[in-house]
Amino acid sequence: MQISRILLGAASMVVLACGGADRTDTATTDTAAVVAAATPAATPAAAGTMAPITGTTHEVRMVLENNEYKFSPANITIKAGDGIRWTMVSGAPHNVAFDPATVPAAAKAQLMANMPNQISELSGPMMINANETYSISFANIPAGTYNYFCTPHLAMNMRGVITVQ
């Protein structure tokens, strides 16, 4: 009896601790709170806050040209605070994905926070239609070189490199 009461108390504290970090909705149901408390490891980037683009937005096209799937340009150098907007031109589906194992630990949480609609960790959504776009802000991302790829065309070497100055 006493032990179960202590456990319940501890569980409530975990729920409160998780819920207070970045939730703005106060209408969290008991079920949602329990799920959140039960899966704390699934959302490591919850502490990261999306940092909007404050500089230039650079354009990268996703194309199929001469039987080659590519990001154009494949290599791009940007400044802190800049963003990149990818546009689906041809050869869909494409996406923008970073290998979580190669992204520096110091950059990971912010990059995750800055990538909308991830289908898995650091993988952007599939772009199917011409003129569909996907943007990532590199604000608050540490200077460095970031390799990325298109998941459907990884085997065809559809890769790009972003250098953040």
The answer for residues whose C-beta is within 8 angstroms of residue 22's C-beta and 6 or more apart is 46, 47, 49
Q: What gap in Å lies between CA 21 and CA 5, rounded to an integer?
A: 25
What is the C-alpha separation between 133 and 149, in angstroms, rounded?
16
DSSP state of 149: E
* Per CB under 5 A, 153 contacts Cu ion: yes
Residue nearest to Cu ion (CB): 150
Are the CB atoms for 130 and 88 separated by under 8 Å?
yes
Told to check if 150 binds Cu ion by CB under 5 A, we report yes
Cα–Cα distance, 126 to 141 (Å, whole number): 23
What's the closest the beta carbon of residue 127 comes to Cu ion, in angstroms? 9
Q: Examine residue 58 and tell whether it contacts Cu ion (CB under 5 A).
A: no
Nearer to Cu ion, 3 or 155 (CB): 155
Of the ranges 2-10, 68-76, 97-105, 127-135, which one interacts with Cu ion (CB under 5 A)?
Answer: 68-76
Q: Is 70 in the site for Cu ion (CB under 5 A)?
A: no
Residue 94 makes contact with Cu ion by CB under 5 A: yes
Closest CB 152 distance from Cu ion, rounded Å = 5
Count the site residues for Cu ion by CB under 5 A. Answer: 5
- Our finding on whether 63 is near Cu ion (CB under 5 A) is no
Give the Cβ contact number of residue 44 at 10 Å.
12
**Minimum CB–partner distance for residue 146 and Cu ion (Å):** 17
Segment near Cu ion (CB under 5 A); pick from 33-41, 69-77, 112-120, 140-148 = 69-77
DSSP codes of every residue in 55-111: SPEEEEEEEEETTEEEEESSEEEE-TT-EEEEEE-SS--B--B--TTTS-HHHHHHH
Kindly state whether residue 108 participates in binding Cu ion, applying the rule CB under 5 A.
Answer: no
Closer to Cu ion by Cβ: residue 58 or 153: 153
Distance CA 81, CA 25 (A): 29
Interface residues toward Cu ion, by CB under 5 A: 69, 94, 150, 153, 158
